[in-house]
Amino acid sequence: MIENIKPGDIEKRSFEIIGEILGERRLAPENELVIKRVIHTTADFDYVDNLVFSPGAVAKGIEALRGGCDIVTDTQMARAGINKGILGRLGGEVHCFMSDPDVAAEAKERGVTRAFVSMEHAAALEKPCIFAIGNAPTALVSLHRLMEAGRLTPALIIGVPVGFVNVVESKELILGDPVPYIVARGRKGGSNVAAAICNAMLYQILR
């Protein structure tokens, strides 16, 4: 039977259904809203187990956002999905360098992906940044190398690229780095997941 739900109540009802399906499963309170937001976005309950959080990752992300940090993404789709209204009110903005002509030219010349070069360009930003990676494992590889070289200290890395080639391996690199992270272990993820995680933190600040 089709439920008669007012448009403004659809999200609330969706979260009620998520809670009903989770049943007795208890989530860590600090991570609960992030996990449920990702489930709401994907209808995939595997994220209850797939999402891995470094200690205090969500709190550190929220603190950085409150402080006006920027967000760097590896796709225009993730950039579009992040609530830029709230982020702007906090003093931040979203960057995606993937479509920049100079990034494309440099990537072609060096024989690497645009995502790899994009992260190097992002390292030049003067503000603290959260990196929300939902598509390109090479973005995570680039971030790992930049951190090893002492060129970058992310406020938080959201590592949720989706796919098959180097996806699992790139995520494992981040899990071994001394940086706050939220990582979707395995092959699942996506730009929508990266945006959902950002929004889950933003909504805990302003709504």
Distance, CA of 109 to chain centre: 29
Are 140 and 171 within 8 A, CB to CB?
yes
Q: Is 40 a catalytic residue?
A: yes
What letters, b where the CB count within 10 A reaches 16 and e where it falls short, cover 54-78? beebbebbbbbbeeebbbbbbbebb
Residue 198's CB: how many other CB atoms inside 10 A?
Answer: 29
Pairing of strands 156-159, 94-95: unpaired
From the list 166, 178, 121, the residue with the least C-alpha distance to 140 is 166
Strand ranges for the chain from DSSP E: 51-53, 70-73, 94-95, 129-133, 156-159, 181-184
Helix (H, G, I), strand (E, B), or coil: what is residue 73? strand
Of the candidates 40, 95, 121, 144, the residue annotated as catalytic is: 40
* End-to-end CA, the chain: 32
Which residues form the catalytic set? 40
